[in-house]
Amino acid sequence: MTPPHDYRFHQLGNGLRIGSERLREARSVSFGIWIEAGSRHESKGQEGTAHLWEHLAFKGTARRSALDIAKSLDLLGGQSNAYTSREHTCFHARVVDTHLEEALDILADIALEPRPSAEDFSREKDVVLQEIAMVEDDPEDSLMEAFWGAIWPDTSVGHSILGVPDTVRGFALPVMENWRSAHYRPERMLISAAGSLDHDTFQAMVESRFGRLEPGSPPPVPERGVYYPTTLLTERDTEQTHVALSFPGMGAGDDRRFAMSMLNAVLGGNMSSRLFQEVRERRGLAYTVYSFANSMIDQGVLQVYAAVDPDRTGELLSCLRDELDRLARCGVTPEELEHARDHLLSVLYLTLESSEDRMSRLARNQLLLNRYVSPEETAARFEAVTLEDLRALAAEIIDPTQAGLAILGPVIDPRWQEAFKP
């Protein structure tokens, strides 16, 4: 489909990509500096490197102190932040259009020229260690983090984004700077923006700040993980028993991703889903129960989570197994298909009213699919999903021989590890 005239894509000579979308009625503009450098790009012993650099970027540059950065961003009156994922680091902001160039200058400065002192480096390692401890203190987060590493063993896919205490404590700044130099390359960067902007002006802003970057030898392509249907039983003094399931899914660029989104909506993606209605509404087994499709560029998983009174753990496991088995054998009903379709189309249309969501949408489609994807194309792909598509996908994905199971709670019954075995 031909992109609309309000969308523009350009690639600089050094390989850096620029995607922008002008929203005629907006007064704000959102932009993101996306770098293909995440936890999947870390070798063994480097776990947490990408995430720590995201923190260190705000600790000062050659032109700005950490306080200068904080004050400048606050004075703009918008929103700015950064995050690290398994495949990307993103520095992003939303500001009034008159502040676009100043905000871009600040974020470009911290992304390209961080200059943390030795004291900043030591202090920020302690901050990250506290962040890791915070995850460990939360049973749900702790379980899901350990489970992710267990289903992707011996590969960077399974790395914790935050890192692990031993690696974080052992980081040395010169070694981290070498990693950053190898991964923060222009051909691995994308600048996306959506809102009140002029394409040519924005392109000139980006080129003046990023055009001088020299391309380099691309780092090795991250290895593909091998999914392992593990069983992880952990005894811990908690008020509830926390249960997670996994099944091998698909990459974010797979053509079946629209069917997967709809299958997840039927299973546990909203309040009318089968799991929410059966586990919470009919049986009162759990306050929290949901499913989600977790996709990277080339592979992913379908996961389920619920928390239950320890005395009713066996009942929960039986209920989850029955619902998953029924979905795999019988597929979905026509009513469920239409309800899931309407739900996802509504989510799509609502996100189009946000310049932040549109900016992220532009970036993700360019990074994952290497092209512009119009909202109309996405809507048409949801409209095209059939009952047979969902039936075939459910039968393929929900395979008990591929079910991973993780349970964390005050009492562990060894019999639970057989709950999803065929």
Concerning whether 119 is annotated as a catalytic residue, the answer is no
User: Whole-angstrom distance between the N-terminal and C-terminal Cα of the chain?
Assistant: 45
Other beta carbons within 10 Å of 172: 9
β-sheet with 189-195: strand ranges across: 7-11, 17-22, 189-195, 28-35, 89-96, 79-84
- State how far the Cα of 389 lies from the Cα of 262, in Å rounded to an integer: 10
Among the listed residues 259, 390, 266, the one whose alpha carbon sits nearest the alpha carbon of residue 336:
266
Max Cα distance, the chain (Å): 64
9 phi and psi angles, rounded to 5 deg = -125, 140
Q: Give the C-alpha separation, 368 to 353, whole Å.
A: 22
The three-state secondary structure class of 62 is: coil
In the 8-state DSSP scheme, what is residue 162?
S
Catalytic member of 21, 36, 42, 54: 54
Whether the CB-CB separation of 70 and 42 falls below 8 Å is answered with no
What is the C-alpha separation between 212 and 418, in angstroms, rounded? 58
Q: Which residues are catalytic?
A: 54
